[in-house]
Structure 1
Amino acid sequence: MNELDTVLMRLAQAPLPAGLTAIDEGVLARVAAGAVSRARRGVGFATISAALAMGIAGASMPSREASATSLAPLGPISPLSPAALLGGE
């Protein structure tokens, strides 16, 4: 525990890095760029809204009724399968 206290004390007494003094400009530039990202959010919202509207419209007008032709899409059901042994097809 004493080693941790010593390391933290050395860190507190160390001089600040030179790049730390110029960090304010970078932060302010990112805040200013936030206005551009807000404009992009509007375009994203419009895209999502259009996709949702197309999905609802497509789901409300089916072209034909769906029907399952077979329960075994990869081939016939084996006579020794659990479904066949339990009284299935």
Structure 2
Amino acid sequence: GPGLSGGAAVLGGGVFSENVMELQRHLQFVEEEAELLRRSLIEMEEQNKLLMNEINRYKSELPPTTSSLSSSSLMSLTDGLLNDSPA
């Protein structure tokens, strides 16, 4: 605002205001990056929820005799799903 321009003149004019503009550009870039990461995280959490639901569905479909194997086989299943998904 108007206070900034007065301060800039006192502190040596051009160099100071250039630094402020550079910092503002950098801040904007960081904020945009944070927003992209936030959206990406939300997408991953939704995908994770879907995968967990799918795993639970598989669990419930397993016959009782294979339940002892379920945890290890489900681990390899989830590893496969996570590694195959495009990052």
* Fold match (TM-score > 0.5): no
Normalization by structure 1: what TM-score?
0.41
Higher relative contact order (Cα pairs below 8 Å, separated by 6+ residues): 2
Highest CA radius of gyration, 1 or 2?
1
TM-score (norm 2): 0.41
Higher helix share goes to which structure? 2
